[in-house]
Amino acid sequence: MSIIHNALSGALAAQAALSAASQNIANAMTPGYTRQGVVLGSVQPLQGRLSPGSGVAVSALQRFSDGYKSLQLWSAASELGQRSVAQTYFTQLEHVLGDDQSGINSGLDAFFAALNAASVEPTS
């Protein structure tokens, strides 16, 4: 019975590995997809230490990704969000300061014109 159990656990583990491989092939061209793999581990024998073992089991399903790329993507997305929020405030500021009628340019021009007039004729 132990040999049949070992063979069954091996077949099930191989099926899980083939399933992960087929997912990787199916999503090879999908943007943002990272490949997956199956981590296999041995099943501890139920009998003494001299037992050949009790087969294999899937320990985990592991996703293989590049940590550097993920960090760069998160950093770029964060910076984009920050810049997008700042852009709205800069646009409002540009509307306030860039208007010829009520902007700061006309006020500064009038101020310097008055200073110039005062320097030419100090009694005015």
Residue-averaged pLDDT of the chain? 85
Q: What is the model's pTM?
A: 0.53
- 55/6 Cα distance (integer angstroms): 4
For the stretch 2-49, pLDDT in tens is: 788 888 999 999 999 999 999 999 999 998 888 999 999 988 877 666
For the stretch 95-108, pLDDT in tens is: 777 766 666 777 78
Residue 117: what pLDDT? 86
Residue 97: what pLDDT? 73
Given 3-state DSSP classes, what are the helix, strand and coil percentages for the chain, each rounded to the nearest 5?
A: 60, 10, 30
Q: Which helix (H) or strand (E) holds 47?
A: none
Amino acid at the residue 105: N
